[in-house]
Amino acid sequence: MRPSAVPAILLATLILSGCAASSGAEDVLTPVPSTETTNAITKPSGPIPAAVVGDAAPQSSAQQQALSWTGPVPEPQALVPADGAVGMPMPTERPVAMLMPAEPGINPDTGPKSSMRSRIYGHRFRDAKPINFGRISPRKLAVHGVDVSRWQGEIDWETLRKQGANFVYIKATDGGDHLDPMFRKNWRRAKEAGLKHGAYHFFYWCRTGGEQADWFIRNVPKEANSLPPVIDVEWNGESSCKQRLSRKRVLEKMQVFMDKVERHYGQRPIIYTAPDFYRDNLKGELLNYPFWLRSVAAHPSKVYPGRKWVFWQYSGSGLSEGVDGKIDLNVFNGDESDWHDWVASR
């Protein structure tokens, strides 16, 4: 090395050192979890697993690893302000992505036949508060299933399936930062037991639809054989959120959530609701969406006249081997052939 080059090299070294010293890691803003509290409608009859409340974003490598089972975390997207403009308009003549059998026994042209048809188990459920539905009893329909959350605790999924649970909807998320502590285990075990399974989100009226969609997407796997996602919309008097929005605002917030979830999963979400909420907000609305209706005292045609439906929740007091305590009972609107075709078309 020539002596004349030494000063230049020393000067370059000092400059690089100064740059390195001034380029520290950027500060990361940590979002503060919401103080919202939402509760499932069904109350526990035994010990309840301790809840684990997640943050709105991973805070450490351990938390990132805990969520790694769902795949890559989607890129952040702009959230819709609570009282601001909605990003997507209400649909008017949108194509129906999910066809619904209009009446039991009718086999709609919903797509190709499935070459791998799962066995349908006849229902053996009992009911702590049995209802006489008359000649249009849910017992006359072929494909029964359940929905579960943390309140059911540990479930023997193999036994539950043989009792007649041919499908299950599993509580996944509430609002923008609550994850059901049993969701991951229930999702995995239901899949291992061969149940057709999907996830539902309990919608929280004090958070934006965009936030809630992001939280659901982050926690619920995108699996080819899973059932369509569900948005559970109802008035919850036990929530810390006491807002009762106008019908217009309710529909706007729902639409933001549903559009975002549909884009991610490639399946149109199903809307679950109860009679009072339906009367206030959904009667005559969202005709291009499939519905899952709660009606525990009468057939849905009497409680929701004119509304087509895919699933009917006919009991909140079901009893079954494989589960301690009560469980919600549901039925698909169609026969076995309709069910297989509907699943294949998903």
Angstrom distance (rounded) from CA 64 to CA 59: 8
Higher pLDDT, residue 96 or 121? 121
Angstrom distance (rounded) from CA 189 to CA 345: 24
In this prediction the pTM is: 0.70
Query: Per-domain residue ranges for the chain?
Result: 141-345
CA angle 228, 230, 236 (to 5 degrees): 175
| Statement: residue 177 has pLDDT above 70 | yes
In this prediction, residue 237 carries a pLDDT of: 80
Q: In b/e form, how buried is each residue of 146-157, taking b as 16+ CB within 10 angstroms?
A: bbbbbbbbebbb
**CA torsion angle 138 203 168 304 (round to 10):** 10
Q: Which of 234, 262, 285, 336 is catalytic?
A: 234
In this prediction, residue 188 carries a pLDDT of: 98
Q: Say if domain 141-345 classifies as CATH 3.20.20.80.
A: yes
In this prediction, residue 116 carries a pLDDT of: 65
Per-residue pLDDT, averaged over 267-289, amounts to 98
Angstrom distance (rounded) from CA 261 to CA 88: 13
Annotated catalytic residue 262? no
Q: Which long-range contacts (CB under 8 A, 24 or more apart) does 133-138 make?
A: 133/298, 133/299, 133/314, 134/299, 136/299, 136/301, 138/312, 138/314, 138/329, 138/331
